[in-house]
């Protein structure tokens, strides 16, 4: 894939061609049987846009319809490309230009319309989903997921009543509710189901000071395919206070429950409960915790969470499980009709939530509202981070089996008619399990971790398995030694398997040597180096890693050369490396700030060099 960044796309196979997207929203086409490249489309994403992306420069996949491949781009466009030649047919900007919106979710085509959502709740945007004509690229409808500024009037009557569940001046930070992953269609009911994200900012008492459910945050929202109008909603986390998106995969199935055939949606969102919802009406059927949850003790018969008041109040610092990475996130689930089980990766973890009550909206930076320097008294107990593959019985609402994993975070799943479940892991293992009981049947070691889900397809009667490998994401970027995203970073690649396949992988890239002693010096007092550390933690850490140690997908600044240091402020303020993904920060930092950050990085390089063997 020509990139070290995270790979999250589900490939598509159509008529012997395999289409997949990769970092920076590239689209690739290959001969599905031989791997021979057909074409690559580079949408020319403005890489400085990485500053407004929480969770790596990923893309979750293309859509295909009538000879064209469709994909969203990180900078908010939707592109339609000829499936045979890779030539651009049309493109539209789906978000306000140069805004904090981004697009990482897969494009979807239903009923001749291309649907695309967006991301950016952590940067202060208002979520919506747009439907474009697949042929022409003309906008057909746009549906907002949260109400806007009441003084402008809401777009629809149903957003008027949604606005009554909000208070204060939520629209200033957009409100959030971005639909950054699940958008699913039921052709029989002609309904589109949208998984809606968390609030902006995260904490209800600063987002909506008078409380309220804050519709349609953290909800499954059903709208008509024809015009995007509201039909029903089910809110998983009323008054979201913990980054509990309901953007996670929405799985449609027909199940027999209590002797009655039900058309259901199944979802295992971040908040840790597995939901079965009637997809005709939005009625709650059942829900049970599938991981440790400390923010709630259970659900009422109507499907409303029974909250832990300490997690709602967030007085001081409170450890809450799950943390914002969720008990389960975007990683696709699979269902096996014969076993009746749903297979998905689960994480046990928590975070220390502390609210910054002095928070104020700032369009230049993140708008989460957390007090990251909080070191006062805390309530609750941190959870030891672990992860596993679970097989869940959605009718009985209980775990059937699990396989423990070495790292908390692992990949999406595939269940096959042959009774197998495939899943990748952070350590590069791709494994096959028996679907009925989780017995391990097969494994393959790749150089880098696998987060994306495998697919299976046939070409000329030969069954193949394909998966996009590549390990990135927010935890790799942040590189917290206590973090949950442990895994092997390295070159992203598409792996395709068949029985008796004979290809071999190239040898792995060599490990980098020890950190060299820097030759460059910056005049700075110890106090200025400390100030540099604080600035680094405010502006640099989310991409270049805790303690200036890179997680492996962005440059390790301790290795910066003499030449880089000589042009350091041209890079940080002047944006000379914006084409490589390093945005300018001249709106937030001064020359003096940059000198302090540089001094801190050099001090970290000297510490690391002197401590290496
Ligand atoms: Ca979020």
Q: What is the mean pLDDT of residues 435-440?
A: 98
Tell me what pLDDT residue 553 has. Answer: 96
Q: What phi, psi does 161 have (nearest 5°)?
A: -75, -25
Tell me what pLDDT residue 511 has. Answer: 86
d(CA 177, ligand 1 centre) in Å: 9
d(CA 218, ligand 1 centre) in Å: 10
Give the burial class of 439: count Cβ atoms within 10 A of its Cβ; 0-12 exposed, 13-18 middle, 19 or more buried. Answer: exposed
State whether residue 158 is helix, strand or coil.
Answer: helix
d(CA 371, ligand 1 centre) in Å: 16
d(CA 449, ligand 1 centre) in Å: 23
State the Cα torsion 508-512-513-519 to the nearest 10°.
Answer: 160
d(CA 236, ligand 1 centre) in Å: 15
Q: How many residues does the chain have?
A: 613
Both structure tokens of 251 = 């799985």
Q: What is the mean pLDDT of residues 578-586?
A: 96
Please report, for the chain, how many H helices and E strands are present, in that order. Answer: 9, 38
Cα–Cα distance, 144 to 281 (Å, whole number): 21
% of the chain at pLDDT higher than 90? 97
Shortest CA distance to 98 belongs to which of 70, 128, 76?
76
Is this prediction's pTM over 0.95?
yes
Tell me what pLDDT residue 139 has. Answer: 98
CA distances to 282, 560, 566, 596, 598 from 520, rounded to whole Å, are 62, 10, 8, 14, 10
Cα–Cα distance, 238 to 434 (Å, whole number): 38
Cα–Cα distance, 498 to 184 (Å, whole number): 30
DSSP secondary structure letter of residue 286: E
Tell me what pLDDT residue 486 has. Answer: 85
Element (DSSP H or E) covering residue 593 = helix 591-611
Both structure tokens of 576 = 């000379």
Tell me what pLDDT residue 481 has. Answer: 87
Let me know: does 21 contact 9? Beta carbons within 8 Å.
yes
Tell me what pLDDT residue 485 has. Answer: 84
Residue labelled with tokens 């690391």? 608
Q: What phi, psi does 243 have (nearest 5°)?
A: 60, 40
Question: How crowded is residue 304: how many other Cβ atoms within 10 Å of its Cβ?
Answer: 16
Tell me what pLDDT residue 418 has. Answer: 95
Q: What is the mean pLDDT of residues 251-278?
A: 98
pLDDT digit string, tens, across residues 344-377: 999 999 999 999 999 999 999 999 999 988 999 9
For the chain, what are the domain ranges? 526-611
Q: What is the mean pLDDT of residues 546-564?
A: 96
d(CA 245, ligand 1 centre) in Å: 6
Task: Report the first-to-last Cα separation within the chain, whole angstroms.
Answer: 34
Give the burial class of 480: count Cβ atoms within 10 A of its Cβ; 0-12 exposed, 13-18 middle, 19 or more buried. Answer: middle
DSSP secondary structure letter of residue 102: B
d(CA 247, ligand 1 centre) in Å: 9
- State the chain's mean pLDDT as an integer: 97
pLDDT digit string, tens, across residues 505-521: 999 888 889 999 999 99
State whether residue 533 is helix, strand or coil.
Answer: helix
DSSP secondary structure letter of residue 87: -
pLDDT at 244 over 70: yes
Cα–Cα distance, 563 to 298 (Å, whole number): 57
Superfamily of domain 526-611: Cytochrome c-like domain (1.10.760.10)
Residues marked as catalytic: 243
Cα–Cα distance, 167 to 203 (Å, whole number): 13
State whether residue 466 is helix, strand or coil.
Answer: strand
Shortest CA distance to 11 belongs to which of 426, 468, 427?
468
Tell me what pLDDT residue 483 has. Answer: 86
d(CA 365, ligand 1 centre) in Å: 15
Tell me what pLDDT residue 611 has. Answer: 85
Tell me what pLDDT residue 186 has. Answer: 98
Shortest CA distance to 413 belongs to which of 341, 496, 309, 314?
341
pLDDT digit string, tens, across residues 128-168: 999 999 999 999 999 999 999 999 999 999 999 999 999 99
Q: What is the mean pLDDT of residues 517-545?
A: 96
Q: What angle do CA 17, 18, 19 make, to 5 degrees?
A: 120
d(CA 243, ligand 1 centre) in Å: 5
- What is the crossing angle of helices 526-539 and 591-611, to 10°? 100
d(CA 196, ligand 1 centre) in Å: 10
pLDDT at 12 over 70: yes
Tell me what pLDDT residue 172 has. Answer: 96
% of the chain at pLDDT higher than 70? 100
Let me know: does 219 contact 265? Beta carbons within 8 Å.
no
d(CA 326, ligand 1 centre) in Å: 10
d(CA 407, ligand 1 centre) in Å: 22
Q: What is the mean pLDDT of residues 572-592?
A: 97
State whether residue 539 is helix, strand or coil.
Answer: helix
Query: What is the bridge-based pairing of β-strands 462-469 and 77-82?
Result: unpaired
């Amino acid at each position: 894939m020509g990139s070290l960044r995270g790979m999250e796309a589900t490939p598509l196979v159509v008529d012997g061609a395999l289409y997949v997207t990769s970092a920076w929203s590239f689209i690739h086409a290959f001969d599905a049987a031989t791997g021979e490249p057909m074409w690559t489309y580079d949408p020319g994403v403005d890489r400085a846009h990485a500053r407004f992306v929480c969770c790596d420069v990923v893309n979750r996949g293309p859509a295909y319809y009538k000879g064209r491949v469709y994909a969203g781009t990180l900078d908010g466009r939707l592109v339609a490309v000829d499936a045979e030649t890779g030539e651009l047919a049309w493109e539209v900007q789906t978000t306000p230009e140069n805004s904090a919106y981004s697009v990482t979710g897969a494009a979807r085509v239903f009923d001749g319309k291309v649907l695309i959502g967006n991301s950016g709740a952590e940067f202060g945007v208002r979520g919506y989903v747009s439907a474009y004509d697949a042929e022409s690229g003309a906008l057909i409808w746009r549906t907002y997921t949260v109400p806007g500024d009441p003084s402008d009037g809401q777009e629809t009557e149903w957003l008027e009543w949604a606005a009554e569940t909000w208070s204060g001046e939520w629209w200033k930070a957009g409100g959030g509710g971005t639909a950054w992953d699940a958008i699913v269609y039921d052709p029989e009911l002609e309904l589109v189901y949208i998984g809606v994200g968390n609030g902006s900012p995260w904490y209800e008492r600063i987002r909506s000071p008078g409380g309220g459910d804050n519709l349609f945050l953290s909800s499954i929202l059903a709208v008509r395919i024809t015009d995007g109008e509201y039909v029903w909603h089910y809110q998983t986390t009323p008054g979201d206070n913990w980054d509990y998106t309901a953007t996670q995969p929405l799985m449609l199935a027909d199940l027999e429950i209590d002797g009655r055939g039900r058309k259901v949606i199944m979802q295992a969102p971040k908040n840790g409960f597995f939901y079965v919802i009637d997809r005709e009406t939005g009625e709650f059927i059942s829900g049970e915790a599938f991981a440790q949850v400390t923010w709630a003790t259970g659900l009422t018969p109507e499907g409303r969470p029974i909250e832990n008041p300490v997690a709602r109040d967030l007085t001081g610092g409170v450890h809450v499980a799950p943390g914002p990475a969720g008990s389960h996130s975007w990683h696709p689930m699979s269902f096996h009709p014969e076993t009746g089980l749903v297979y998905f990766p689960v994480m046990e973890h928590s975070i220390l939530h502390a609210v910054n009550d002095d928070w104020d909206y700032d369009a230049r930076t993140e708008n989460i509202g957390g007090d990251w320097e909080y070191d006062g008294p805390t309530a609750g107990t941190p959870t030891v981070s672990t992860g596993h593959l679970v097989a869940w019985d959605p009718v009985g609402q209980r775990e059937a089996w699990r396989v423990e994993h070495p790292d908390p975070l692992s990949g999406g799943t595939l269940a096959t008619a042959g009774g197998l479940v495939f899943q990748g892991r952070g350590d590069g293992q791709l494994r096959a399990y028996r679907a009925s009981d989780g017995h391990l049947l097969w494994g393959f070691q790749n150089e880098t971790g696998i987060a994306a889900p495998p697919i299976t397809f046939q070409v000329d009667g030969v069954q193949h398995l394909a998966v996009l490998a590549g390990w990135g994401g927010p935890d790799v970027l942040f590189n917290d030694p206590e973090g949950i995203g442990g895994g092997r970073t390295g070159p992203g690649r598409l792996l395709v398997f068949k029985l008796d396949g004979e290809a071999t992988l190239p040898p792995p890239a060599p490990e980098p040597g020890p950190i060299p002693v820097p030759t460059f010096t910056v005049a700075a007092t110890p106090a200025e180096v400390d100030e540099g550390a604080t600035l680094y933690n405010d502006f640099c850490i989310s991409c270049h890693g805790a303690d200036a140690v890179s997680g492996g997908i962005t440059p390790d600044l301790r290795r910066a050369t003499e030449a880089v240091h000589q042009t350091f402020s041209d890079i940080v303020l002047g944006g000379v490396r914006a084409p490589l993904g390093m945005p300018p920060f001249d709106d937030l930092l001064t020359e003096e700030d940059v000198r302090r950050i540089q001094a801190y990085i050099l001090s970290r390089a000297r510490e690391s060099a002197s401590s290496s063997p």
